[in-house]
Amino acid sequence: MSTLPPGATIGIIGGGQLGRMLAMAAARLGYRTIVLDPQGDCPAAQVANAQIVAAYDDAHGLARLGTASDVITYEFENVPVEAARSLAANHPVYPPPRALEVAQDRLTEKEFLNRAGISTAPFRAIDSGAQLAEALDLMGGSGVLKTRRLGYDGKGQKVFRDASGGQTDGVYEGMGAVPLILEGFVPFATEISVVAARGLDGKSRAFDPAENLHRGGILKSSTVPAKVAPQTVEAARTATLRILDALDYVGVIGVEFFVLGDGSVIANEIAPRVHNSGHWTEAACTVSQFEQHIRAICGLPLGDPKRHSDCVMENLIGDEVDQARALHAEPDLVLHLYGKSQARPGRKMGHFTRLTARA
C-alpha cells in the first residue's frame, strides 16, 4: 500500500475512547473515519464521520466496513482474530491480525516473548484444580492466577501469597473452569510501559517510557520521565522494538514491563493498539501516540516522539470526572473527556495531563 492521501477513509473496529482519540487525530490529518461498534453513539462515533452499528463478528457489518475503508485498524485487542483475518484477505488491516492472536492469550503471548528472547515471569498453563495446586507448589506458594483470555484491568485475576495446602480448593472452578495461567509473583520495584510505532517501511520510533501506578488493577497515573536508570530505559526500548520487528508490525503498540530492584525488566503484557499509558503524548509531545498510529497505518513518515515537557497523566475513573470543572481552571493542564454519559464505578471517563518544564 502506498501513502493514503487526505480524504481517504480509515475504518476503526471498536468505538471506545481510544477509537475516539484515533478519529480525532485522523481528522486533523485530513482523513475520514468510520467506526464499527455495537453501541450507537459510542465515544468514537461521536467524533467520526460515520458508524456501522454491528457486532465485532457480524459478517455483513465487517463487509460494509471493508467496502467503506481504504485501511482498517482497531482500538482494542479482543477483536475476533477471524474477523480481522477475513478483512485482511481483501483490505489492508494494521496492526497485522497475528498481533491480535499473540496478545489475546496470555500463554501464547508469553511463549512469543520468550521465543523473541524477552524475559517474562515464570508461568504454567492451568487447566484443572490439580494442576493449579501442583504449579503453585512449584512456585513456592506465591503467584498470580489469570484467565488466559479476555482479562483486562486486573479482571479475572487472583493473587496467592505464601499459599499453603487447601487454599487452591475450588479456585479453578470459581474462575469459571476456563483456561488459566499461573504466573510467578514478580516483586517489582516499579512498573513502566513503552509506547512505540513501526511504519509501513519497517522503521520504528519509541516514546519515552512512562512509570505507571495501578489502583484496583486499573491504571491510575503515568509519569514521564520514569524514575529508572538509563539502562532500564534502553532495555525496555530494545525489547519493544524487537517485538515490533518479530510481528512485522505496523502501527502503535504498548508494552508493559515490571522493573526489578536491579534495574532489569520483565515484560508483562503487549497491547497491539494505542495505550492508556501513552495518553500523555497528546500533551507533552508534538506528535501524539494517536497521530503516530494514523501516520503508520496510512504510510506517512513517523513523527519525532521527543518530549518537550515532563508530565503526569491521571485517569478520571467513575465519579472522579466531577473534578473536571476544577481542572479547567488549572494552567499547564490538558483535559480530555470521553463523551460517556454514565460515570459507573471503574469506568474510564477521561484523563488529564499536567505539564512541567523538562528537568
Q: Which residues bind ligand AMP (CB under 6 A)?
A: 121, 144, 151, 154, 183, 185-186, 191, 214, 217, 256, 268-269
Strands 50-53 and 32-37: parallel
Q: Is the dihedral of CA 68, 72, 78, 80 positive or negative?
A: positive
Strand, coil or helix: what is 311? Answer: strand
Strand, coil or helix: what is 219? Answer: strand
Give the number of other CB atoms < 10 A from CB of residue 299: 18
Q: Which is nearer to ligand AMP, 154 or 339 (CB)?
A: 154
Q: Least Å distance between CB 191 and ligand AMP?
A: 5
CA dihedral 237, 268, 23, 70 (to 10 degrees): 80
Q: Least Å distance between CB 338 and ligand AMP?
A: 21
Residue type, 253: I
Sheet with strand 143-147: strands edge to edge? 123-126, 180-183, 143-147, 157-160
In the numeric block, which cell numbers belong to residue 83? 474477523
Q: Least Å distance between CB 220 and ligand AMP?
A: 11
Q: Which is nearer to ligand AMP, 192 or 316 (CB)?
A: 192
Q: Which is nearer to ligand AMP, 75 or 191 (CB)?
A: 191
- DSSP letters of 240-274? HHHHHHHTT--EEEEEEEEE-TTS-EEEEEEESS-
Q: Least Å distance between CB 143 and ligand AMP?
A: 7
Q: Least Å distance between CB 51 and ligand AMP?
A: 29
Q: Least Å distance between CB 327 and ligand AMP?
A: 25
d(CA 195, CA 108): 21
* Helix and strand counts by DSSP (H, E) for the chain: 11, 17
Q: Which is nearer to ligand AMP, 52 or 182 (CB)?
A: 182
Give the number of other CB atoms < 10 A from CB of residue 177: 11
Q: Least Å distance between CB 96 and ligand AMP?
A: 23
Q: Least Å distance between CB 258 and ligand AMP?
A: 7
Residue type, 287: V
Q: Which is nearer to ligand AMP, 76 or 185 (CB)?
A: 185
Which of 347, 273, 247, 268 lies closest to 76 in space, CA to CA?
Answer: 273
d(CA 312, CA 353): 5
Q: Which is nearer to ligand AMP, 189 or 229 (CB)?
A: 189
Which of 251, 237, 245, 332 lies closest to 289 in space, CA to CA?
Answer: 251
Q: Which is nearer to ligand AMP, 166 or 187 (CB)?
A: 187
